[in-house]
Amino acid sequence: MKTLSVWLDKLFRLDKRILLVFLYVTVVFADGGGLSEKLLKYVYAKYGQTAINRLAEWQNLIASGKNKADIEKVKLVNTFFNRIKFVDDIVHWGKTDYWATPVEFLITNGGDCEDFAIAKYFTLKEMGVPDEAMLITYTKSLTLNQSHMVLTYYPTRDGDPLVLDNLIKEIKPASARKDLVPIYSFNGKDLWLSKERGRGRRVGASDRISLWQNLNDRIAKEMNN
């Protein structure tokens, strides 16, 4: 990579910063990652090289994991995102509740439980895990005595889902997480009320959740810029 950088610098006489973004766009993101050159230039200018590196790792994770079994994808994605720091919304964004896009979560290197669950959901979806096999689940944590969000993955449609949680490294079945009381769940299509540790009762489309709709609008803008 260093040799290529020197060669291109001599050939095109580009500014080092622009050259670096160019390399990441053409080499790292060449496999259709959906991140535009404009977005990457913005990220580099505002958040620096380490933010670009995190985006590169993320795209490489997606590309290298697409052909793996779904359960392996789940493990890889859970480990990848659980390295990021927990930061409360009011500290991180100056808002009481803000659902960050996966890009925002990665470039700022921090977020709260919603951001972890959302990033895992969209990454697994991009890797080919079916939407109907995943639910973003809003719970009450009895340990913390407060609301908490996790991603649940269903190896079988009506089986015991696995819980991907930023609070613990281990992925456990929902039946083993007595500390979490599910309240509602949703994915790209549906909204469910949960009175038990399964899917619960469908009550409509997920676009009824304004924060979810706003999040999807911002993700679309990121991909189109």
Q: What pLDDT score was predicted for residue 111?
A: 97
Last residue of a domain, one of 67, 94, 125: 67
Residues for the chain: how many in total? 225
Q: Are 203 and 192 in contact (CB under 8 A)?
A: yes
- Which residue segment(s) compose the domain that 134 sits in? 86-224
25 and 131 housed in the same domain: no
Residue type, 208: R
59 and 146 housed in the same domain: no
Residue 72 and residue 69: Cα distance in Å, rounded?
Answer: 5
pTM as predicted: 0.81
The distance of Cα 188 from the centroid of its chain, to the nearest Å, equals 14
127 and 193 housed in the same domain: yes
In a domain, 74, yes or no: no
63 and 90 housed in the same domain: no
In a domain, 140, yes or no: yes
In a domain, 178, yes or no: yes
Residue 100 and residue 207: Cα distance in Å, rounded?
Answer: 17
160 and 200 housed in the same domain: yes
Number of domains in the chain: 2
174 and 92 housed in the same domain: yes
Residue 211 and residue 12: Cα distance in Å, rounded?
Answer: 44
Mean pLDDT of the chain: 82
In a domain, 78, yes or no: no
Q: CA angle at residue 120 from 82 to 105, to 5 degrees? A: 70
The per-residue pLDDT for range 14-27, each reduced to its tens digit, is 444 444 444 444 33
Decide: residue 219, CB within 10 A, 0-12 exposed, 13-18 middle, 19+ buried: middle
Q: What pLDDT score was predicted for residue 6?
A: 46
154 and 46 housed in the same domain: no
Please say if the pLDDT value at position 203 is more than 60. Answer: no
25 and 109 housed in the same domain: no
Residue found by looking up tokens 């949680």 in the block:
165
92 and 10 housed in the same domain: no
167 and 209 housed in the same domain: yes
**Spatial CB neighbours of 180, under 8 Å, sequence gap ≥ 6:** 139, 140, 141, 142, 148, 150, 163, 165, 174
Q: How many other CB atoms sit within 10 Å of the CB of residue 113?
A: 22
Residue 84 and residue 116: Cα distance in Å, rounded?
Answer: 8
pLDDT-derived band at 136 (thresholds 50, 70, 90) equals: very high
In a domain, 217, yes or no: yes
In a domain, 76, yes or no: no
Q: What pLDDT score was predicted for residue 17?
A: 46
Residue 119 sits in a domain whose CATH number is 3.10.620.30
C-alpha distances out from residue 38 to 42, 88, 130, 201, Å: 6, 29, 30, 42
The per-residue pLDDT for range 157-189, each reduced to its tens digit, is 888 999 999 999 999 999 999 999 998 888 877
Q: How many other CB atoms sit within 10 Å of the CB of residue 96?
A: 8
Residue 43 and residue 161: Cα distance in Å, rounded?
Answer: 36
Q: How many other CB atoms sit within 10 Å of the CB of residue 56?
A: 17
127 and 20 housed in the same domain: no
The per-residue pLDDT for range 64-99, each reduced to its tens digit, is 999 999 999 999 999 999 999 999 999 999 999 999
174 and 111 housed in the same domain: yes
